[in-house]
Structures are given as structure tokens and as C-alpha cells.
Amino acid sequence: MGKIAVLGSVNMDIVITTGRMPKVGETIIGDQIDYFVGGKGANQAVAAARFGGKTTFLGKIGQDTFGEKVYQHLSEEQLDVRSVAQEKNIFTGIASIFKLPQDNCITVISGANELVDREYVDQVAHQIIESDVLLVQIEIPVETLQYALQLAKENGVTTLLNPAPYHDIVGELLPNVDILTPNETEFAALIGKELIPEAEMEETILAWQQTHTTRLIVTRGSQGVSFVESDKLVTVPSSKVPVVDTTGAGDTFNGILAAALSEGMSFKEAVILANRGAGLSVQKLGAQTGMPTRAAVIASEH
């Protein structure tokens, strides 16, 4: 079993299910409200742990009821949360999520996630160095990411960056990133475009990979997942499943990918399993609710 350290955010997701977004200045009546533990960091850690990776989550909560709830929830997963720090006088991160019939809209208020700093990385450095894979996203300060990725790289730990939400720092982080997993929008931003036409996506991925050593995997929603192997583009198609909620699908992909790679699985096999896991995760409401166990991912093969 491989060891994974996930450094990142944890949020309380407040999910409002509604038929449509209100217009500016308008009030509408929604259908349902749910509270789920989320945050890209915590979600990815849960996905890795459910897949069977020996996973440590590194992040911060605030001194409030949500902080206690998310800590309790994470403790009930097969996760090492002993280094999660509680900060005084600040609230736990919150994500306000509008779940619409066609997709979702998310606004994150960072709270304690903003206080995940270099000093914290120093305190948990041994957890990072002892891991096979360090997995990070961009819901904590970018200076912290820069510092943690460098520490991991210097110590021979495989580094995986999920560049979400996108930030212009990504290009600068690349020398310390082994694997980069943008979605199509984030990949377009990385190459300085607003959008890459679908017909140009494959050649754009190939061209980027030819000039970079960081291994690129572009997650493409219903199109599947694309990467380059032996100078050829490989696209692993998405499974055709009933979609209830896509929140956390990318997190499931990243968590399983990290766990699979940490145990020495081949790159292609790890991508295939991570993609299947993401397909299972979208079948329930909430980022973590539908995240599968390893057994469920393997069983979904047939």
C-alpha cells in the first residue's frame, strides 16, 4: 500500500438544489438544502483513502461548529487527520454551491484554508517527506504550494497538482510538478486561451506535452480523460452513467490517481481506474457521498 499526503482545503459545502439561478435583484424559492463536508483537499484525501491508499490529510479548520463537524467526519474515514490544525478566531472554509439541473456553481470563502502557510508545512514536513505522492490543489495560498512542492520534489516524493481553481502561478510551479491534471478550462488558461475548440483539443495536448516534462492529464467531462503516451494521444472514455451531481468528480479522479500511482500501478492503469471512480462518484448528491471504495471501482470494470 502506498502513502499519500494531501495538502489542501477543507470546507463545509452548503448545497442549495434549485431549478435555476436567481437573476440579480431577484428572490426565488429553492428546492432543498444539504450540508456536506467538502473542499478539494479533503475530497481528494477521502477518495484516495477509500481506494485503499494510506492517506494523510494536511490542512486547517476554524474554531466553529463547522470545524468540529468536518473534523469528526474526516476522522470517520480511513484517514490520518492527526496533523489537521485548528486556528482560533477564524471560521472553517465554506463553499456555497448551487446545484442546478444542468451543472453546479460554487463560491468558496476560504476561512482557515487561507492560514495554511509555510510554517504549517514545516510542522508537517515529515508527513510529506515520508509519502510516495504529494497531492495538492489551489484552494490554499500559492506560496505554501510552491514551498510544499519544492520540499516534496527535493525529497523524491512524486508531486501531483490539480490546478483548481485555476491560478496564474501554475506555470511557475511546473518545475516541481510531476503530474498536472487540469480540466479543459484550466488547460486553456494554462496556455493563455479562454477556450480550446474541441476539434483542436487533442493536437493542443500533444503539442504541450512535447515541450514539457510534467506529465499532463486533461479531464474532459463526458469526453473522458486524455494524456500522451509514447508520443501518442490516449483518450480514456467516460462511462455512460446517470449523473446526479458532478461536484467532486475531479476530486475523485485525483484522489484515486494519487493512490493508484503511490502503489506503483502503471500510469495508464491508474488513469483508467481513476476515471471509473469519477464515473461512480457523480451518481449521488454531494462531493464525497458517491466516492467509491476500491472494490466498487474494480467491480465497475464489468
247 annotated among ligand-binding-site residues: yes
* Residue 95 binds to ligand RIB (criterion: CB under 6 A): yes
220 annotated among ligand-binding-site residues: yes
75 annotated among ligand-binding-site residues: no
Q: List residues bridging with 275 in a β-sheet.
A: none
Cβ atoms of 97 and 104 closer than 8 Å: yes
User: Exactly one of 80, 139, 178, 245 binds ligand RIB (CB under 6 A); which one?
Assistant: 139
Q: Look up residue 281 and give its amino acid.
A: S
Residue 245: CB minimum distance to ligand RIB, A: 10
Assess whether 31 carries a catalytic annotation: no
**Active-site residue identified among 80, 132, 178, 251:** 251
The phi, psi pair for 143, rounded to 5°, reads -60, -35
Residues 29-88 that bind ligand RIB (CB under 6 A): 38-40, 43
Separation CA 190–CA 187 (nearest Å): 5
Q: List residues bridging with 158 in a β-sheet.
A: 133
Helix runs in the chain, H state only: 40-50, 65-75, 118-123, 125-129, 142-154, 170-173, 184-190, 198-210, 249-262, 267-281, 294-299
Binding mask 5-34 for ligand RIB (x = CB under 6 A): ----x-x-x---------------------
Give the residue from 289, 302, 286, 290 showing the smallest Cα distance to 95.
286
Give the residue from 31, 32, 111 showing the smallest Cα distance to 70.
111
| CB-closest chain residue to ligand RIB | 38
Question: Which is nearer to ligand RIB, 132 or 184 (by Cβ)?
Answer: 184
240 annotated among ligand-binding-site residues: no
Separation CA 220–CA 95 (nearest Å): 23
Residues 208-247 that bind ligand RIB (CB under 6 A): 247
* Residue 112 binds to ligand RIB (criterion: CB under 6 A): no
Question: What interhelical angle do 249-262 and 267-281 show, nearest 10?
Answer: 150
* Residue 248 binds to ligand RIB (criterion: CB under 6 A): yes
Annotated binding residues for K(+), as ranges?
A: 245, 247, 281, 284, 286
The annotation places the binding site for substrate at 11-13, 39-43, 139, 251
Contact positions vs ligand RIB (CB under 6 A)? 9, 11, 13, 38-40, 43, 95, 106, 108, 139, 247-248, 250-251, 287
- Active-site residues, by number, are 251
